[in-house]
Amino acid sequence: MGLLMPDFGLFFWMLLSFSCLLLIMKRFAWGPILKALSERENSIEEALKSAELAKEEMTRLQTGNEKILKDAILEREKIVKEARDLKESIIRDAKVEAIVEANKVLENARAAIEFERIAAIADIKNLIANFSVEIAGKILKEKLGDEKLQKELVKDYIDQININ
């Protein structure tokens, strides 16, 4: 029964050595271990808080990025629309300017053609007048070569003038 029932001396010394060990452990081991565990718990708690703050910041930044992206898309669409409008305006203005310029060229061509036509008619009239004068001169020379005929022709003209 010695194993099941220890002696009082053994029990005393075991209790004393266990108490000493307990005091030594409490003083030198448990304090630093508990302190390290407490610090570790605090650092984990702070890390969790930081992670939560980072998560909130990421959510906020993601929302901000989405807003910036939407604004950029709207701005891009606005710029593209303005560019299209400007292109269409330039094309429309160029067409109008081309039509105006074509009309000016056409009018100038018509005026030049009319001027050339009038000049050609005047040249033809002058040529006809010169030919007529030359022909009349040759006919008169041939017919009025005789002085008697010349006097008769002058007399006829004078008679006609008096009648008119």
Asked whether residue 9 is domain-assigned, the answer is no
Cα(135)–Cα(21) distance, rounded to whole angstroms?
A: 161
- Which letter does DSSP use for residue 2 in this model? T
Amino acid letter at 39?
Answer: E
Asked whether residue 95 is domain-assigned, the answer is yes
- How many domains would you assign to the chain? 1
Cα(80)–Cα(33) distance, rounded to whole angstroms?
A: 68
Asked whether residue 3 is domain-assigned, the answer is no
Asked whether residue 66 is domain-assigned, the answer is yes
Both tokens of 139, joined, read 């006919």
Asked whether residue 12 is domain-assigned, the answer is no
Asked whether residue 16 is domain-assigned, the answer is no
Sign for the CA dihedral angle at 76, 79, 82, 87 comes to negative
Cα(67)–Cα(73) distance, rounded to whole angstroms?
A: 10
Asked whether residue 144 is domain-assigned, the answer is yes
- Which letter does DSSP use for residue 6 in this model? -
Domain housing 154: 26-163
Asked whether residue 18 is domain-assigned, the answer is no
As a residue count, the chain comes to 164
pLDDT in tens, the chain (164 residues): 456 777 788 888 889 999 999 888 888 888 888 888 899 999 999 999 999 999 999 999 999 889 999 999 999 999 999 999 999 999 999 999 999 999 999 999 999 999 999 999 988 988 888 887 887 777 767 666 677 777 777 788 778 775 54
Cα(24)–Cα(17) distance, rounded to whole angstroms?
A: 10
Residue ranges of alpha helices (H) inside 6-146 are 8-24, 31-143
Q: How many CA atoms lie within 13 A of 153 on its CB side?
A: 10
Q: What are phi and psi of 6, to 5 degrees?
A: -75, 160
pLDDT tens-digit map of 98-129: 999 999 999 999 999 999 999 999 889 888 88
Cα(54)–Cα(62) distance, rounded to whole angstroms?
A: 12
- What pTM, to 2 d.p., does this model score? 0.41
